[in-house]
């Protein structure tokens, strides 16, 4: 008998939703989530191996932690494989642009950074007015590497669509790949319908699932390079062959200097996300003073200011 994954995580809903139960089944094994190459006992590794696995209870917050600043938050000690802080981490939430973590992960897994991508009309014109873009136009030609900077620094929804079409042929097909890969990483309480995170009732995740996805992504040094870059200057060609010059600045408030880094903590990088439905979101990769890596997540922050205030409090108290 394959050992059982000894945790059953009873979830709440996506904000007010209450239709989720037994997200990570106590009887499920790695085979269930397609995490093994073979069903033989020698090759089987449990879903929780080398991962932070915790119970269902929220952490009793230390004094000074403003838990009411966000609906969901977590701190994960990557090296110790420990959840040091948990606040509604299994509750379904809207991820906004933190969705792009998975988009970048798949681009690096299946794409070639030197490949040249041509921006389609659909990639640009199907986006809702006012959504976050990096300024791509139909007919522009740029490399996947450049598109990933546009995706991860200034959170370009246009870049997300271009990458999705390049990898899978369409954003719908890419969403299918996103869901398959998320399941394979154990993120079983997530469902994605687009590569950028614009609001949709069927587009959701949890803080714990985002940890699983982000933890896989940061194992690739190229991904870490994108999320840690403060500013990127580049040029590519438009439909007429003329040169387009771009300067993309990271939306991360710590890297921009808008907010001070927590004392004795080095913020490496991460991904922001903001929509009315999702609130203010941030997934962060940092190191403590003794160089221990941490992943910290805040979802549905009341505002950017309160998001960063809470994140600083969490890192100060739970990553040192």
Which structure tokens are listed for 207? Answer: 């803080």
Q: Which residues sit opposite 76 in a β-bridge?
A: 83, 295
> To the nearest 5 percent, what fractions of the chain are helix, strand and coil?
30, 20, 50
Helix (H) or strand (E) holding 84: strand 82-87
Residue 155 falls in the annotated catalytic set: yes
* From 30, 72, 77, 100, active-site residue: 100
Closest by CA to 296, choosing from 274, 279, 312, is 312
- Spot the catalytic one: 30, 77, 97, 286: 97
Q: Is 180 annotated as a binding residue?
A: no
Please confirm, yes or no, whether 97 is among the known catalytic residues.
yes
- Beta strands, E only, 206-289: 231-237, 243-249, 265-275, 279-288
Active-site residue (options: 120, 155, 288, 319): 155
Q: Tell me the sheet residues that pair with 284.
A: 270, 296
What is the three-class DSSP state of 242?
coil
The b/e string for 2-11 (b: 16+ C-beta within 10 A; e otherwise) is eeebeebbeb
Q: How many CA atoms lie within 13 A of 171 on its CB side?
A: 21
Tokens linked to 36: 């093994």
305 assigned to active site: no
Binding residues: 271
Q: What positions carry a catalytic annotation?
A: 97, 100, 155
Binding residues for substrate: 271
């Amino acid at each position: 008998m394959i050992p059982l994954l000894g945790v059953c995580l009873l979830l709440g809903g996506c904000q007010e939703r209450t239709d989720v139960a037994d997200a990570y089944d106590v009887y499920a094994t790695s085979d269930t989530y397609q995490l093994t190459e073979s069903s033989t006992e020698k090759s089987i590794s449990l879903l929780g191996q080398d991962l932070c696995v915790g119970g269902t209870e929220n952490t009793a917050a230390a004094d000074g932690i403003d838990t009411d600043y966000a609906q969901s938050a977590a701190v994960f000690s990557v090296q110790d494989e420990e959840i040091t802080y948990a606040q509604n981490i299994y509750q379904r939430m809207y991820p906004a642009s933190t969705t792009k973590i998975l988009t970048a992960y798949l681009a690096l897994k299946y794409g070639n950074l030197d490949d040249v991508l041509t921006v389609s009309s659909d990639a640009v014109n199907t986006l809702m007015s006012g959504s976050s873009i990096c300024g791509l136009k139909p007919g522009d030609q740029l490399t996947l590497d450049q598109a990933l900077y546009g995706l991860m620094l200034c959170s370009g929804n246009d870049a997300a669509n271009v990458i999705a079409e390049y990898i899978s042929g369409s954003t719908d097909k890419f969403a299918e790949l996103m869901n398959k890969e998320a399941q394979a990483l154990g993120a079983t309480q997530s469902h994605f319908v687009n590569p950028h995170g614009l609001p949709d009732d069927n587009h959701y995740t949890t803080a714990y699932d985002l940890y699983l996805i982000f933890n896989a992504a940061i194992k690739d040094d190229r991904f870490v390079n994108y999320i840690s870059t403060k500013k990127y200057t580049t040029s590519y060609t438009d439909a007429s062959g003329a040169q387009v010059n771009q300067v993309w600045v990271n939306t991360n408030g710590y890297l921009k200097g808008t907010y001070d880094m927590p004392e004795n903590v080095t913020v490496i990088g991460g991904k922001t996300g903001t929509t009315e439905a999702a609130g203010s979101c941030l997934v962060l990769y940092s190191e403590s003073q003794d160089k221990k890596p941490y992943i910290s997540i805040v979802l549905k922050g009341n505002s950017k200011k309160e998001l960063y205030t809470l994140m600083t409090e969490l890192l100060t108290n739970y990553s040192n």
